[in-house]
Structures are given as structure tokens and as C-alpha cells.
Chain A
């Protein structure tokens, strides 16, 4: 019995749904894959593949040599010579490869097209099955703002301002700044990048007649010079986000003409 050959053929037949799934989910900040084991995954893929191939056979007019496929999958090749010869098998093999290539290409095309539709129509934001990104992406892009929590559209904003409570060697500090980027490893946030960052103590030291104590007030803010500040998520206790807008801007009264800009 040739187990390797049958495994290759079965894998080729299972490929279209796997190709569809990968084409649909492949992108930045993807959500984590379904939490199912290898066996369950293969079984699910087998069921979907069976349906797909059954549907595809409706469009195949030429004879399908199921006897040869069954023989090759079975792995017992003793009767191979009586069922076919080299010339016929060459043709059948080329047709089999072509069929699978077309099926995989259609699966990839459908996967990418549906992804584009789901993204542009905003369905990814409210249907868990169609969710494209991890939860951090939705948080940092304004999908979790209370007043806009219909889940379909993000809150309008110009910039995101972050207060991060961070564990440091010198105690718990608040780092504040504009969020300019973030990096995730799967569903987990790895680090955030802030600009115009300042830091202050979470609880400032105060003194009364009994001595020193930590007050409930935060300390004074000290700006940190630099273009970008990286904070690893391991050190972050929690994050407070403000989705900031600049709806109105105008020249102050120090100039003679006053222009108002409503964006």
C-alpha cells in the first residue's frame, strides 16, 4: 500500500475549502483561526470538499475515472496496469491536475472577492462569522466607542490619544500620547507606539503630619523628547483611549481678519 500517494491525493481534494479560508482571512491583523483540532479541521474540510466537488462535477462533461481515483487513494496498485496504460494515465493525470488547479483558483478568487465585499460593506464589524480583524484593531479604530456602539460604523476621529498605565522600575506611571501605530501577534497586542508622549506618576507622593503617603492624585506630567515612544504590552496594566476630533479651528483675535474653519 502506498500511503503517501493516497495522502497527497486526499490533500489535493481537500485543498479548495482551505484555499478559500486562507484567501478570506489573509490580511493585516487577522482574527485567530477557529479553535478546532487537526482531525475536526480535516473532517470539516472533507465535508465541504465533498459538497464542492459534487457541485463542480455538474460542470464536468467528460467521464470521471472514479475507479482509478479509488484505486490510487486505496494505495493498492497491483491492478493498476489492467485499468489503464501510461498514455491514458498521462492524459487523466493532466486533467486531474487542471481540475484541482481550477478549483483552487476559483476558491482563492471567491475568498478574496467576499473579503473585499465584507470589508467595503462593513459587515465584518457586526457579524462575528465575517469578522476580519482581531479585537485590538476594532478597539483602536473606534468601533468600541459607547455612543457609536451600533457596531456597524466606527466613531469619527482625527487622532487617538492614549493614557497607558504602565509598570516600571520606578513604580506605576501614566504614559500619555497620540497613538501612531500598534503591533499584534495574532489576537494579542504586542506593543503600541506613541508620539508627543509625556509621563507622570500614577499616585504622587504627599506629606502630612503623619509622614509621607501616596495620594490619589496623579503627579505632574513631564514631556518625553523624541519622535516615537514604544511601550510593550507586557508592561501595560490598562489603556484609556480618547478618540479626538478637531471640529473647529479659527484664527485668534490677535489677527485682524478672523477665519473660521469647520472641518
Chain B
């Protein structure tokens, strides 16, 4: 049990060691991009767009609130 509101999707990603490690590395090295246009991370044949909350578009915010 955690006291941080990690989403279901967040938990899925954290459970996958390869994906979460790649994302952690990208966030460390390309924090500015993640906070502006977003960073694409390719791992295990999948591409993930990573954005910080402040970089989300209105459409993405609306989609996230529907989760």
C-alpha cells in the first residue's frame, strides 16, 4: 500500500523493470523535454510518450481525467 496516488497505468509501468528503468533514465537526462514537448522512449518494441503534467494538452488532460 502506498500513500502516493500512483495510477493503474503507473503501477503497470513500475512493475516492468526494463520499461520503468528506461523511463527513469529518460526523465533524469531529458527533464526539460519531458516538461515541454514530451519524450519518446522506445523499449521492448513499444514506444512510450512521457510528459510531465505541465506539458499536457487540454485534450490529454481531458483523456486522463476520464481514466
Contacts and interface: CB of A to CB of B under 8 A. Distances in A.
Do A and B belong to a common assembly?
Answer: yes
Interface in A114-166: 137, 140-142, 145-148, 154-161, 163
A179 B24 contact: no
B3 A181 contact: yes
Interface stretch (A7-15, A57-65, A241-249): A241-249
Interface residues of B, number: 41
Contacts of B14: 159, 178, 180, 195-196
A248 B20 contact: no
Contact of B51 (A223, A244, A262): A244
Contacts of A160: 4, 6
A interface, over-half SS: strand
B28 A198 contact: yes
A246 B13 contact: yes
B7 to A, nearest CB: 5
Given A156-B65, A178-B20, A255-B45, A243 B53 contact: yes
B53 A155 contact: yes
Given A156-B53, A250-B46, A223 B60 contact: no
Nearest to B49: A248
B51 A177 contact: no
A145 B53 contact: yes
A86 interface: no
Interface string B39-66: 0001001111111111010001101110
Interface in A52-71: none
Given A159-B14, A245-B53, A251-B45, A177 B7 contact: no
Interface residues of A, number: 47
A242 B13 contact: no
A130 B17 CA distance: 40
30 contacts: A140-B4, A141-B4, A142-B53, A145-B53, A146-B54, A156-B64, A157-B10, A159-B6, A163-B28, A176-B24, A178-B20, A178-B24, A179-B4, A180-B6, A182-B4, A200-B28, A221-B25, A242-B27, A243-B53, A244-B34, A245-B50, A246-B48, A246-B50, A247-B51, A247-B60, A247-B64, A248-B48, A249-B47, A250-B47, A263-B9
Interface of A: 28-29, 137, 140-142, 145-148, 154-161, 163, 176-182, 195-196, 198, 200, 221, 223, 242-252, 254-255, 262-263
Given A140-B4, A141-B4, 16 more contacts: A148-B53, A155-B53, A157-B5, A159-B10, A161-B24, A179-B4, A181-B2, A198-B28, A221-B25, A245-B51, A247-B51, A247-B60, A247-B63, A248-B49, A251-B47, A252-B45
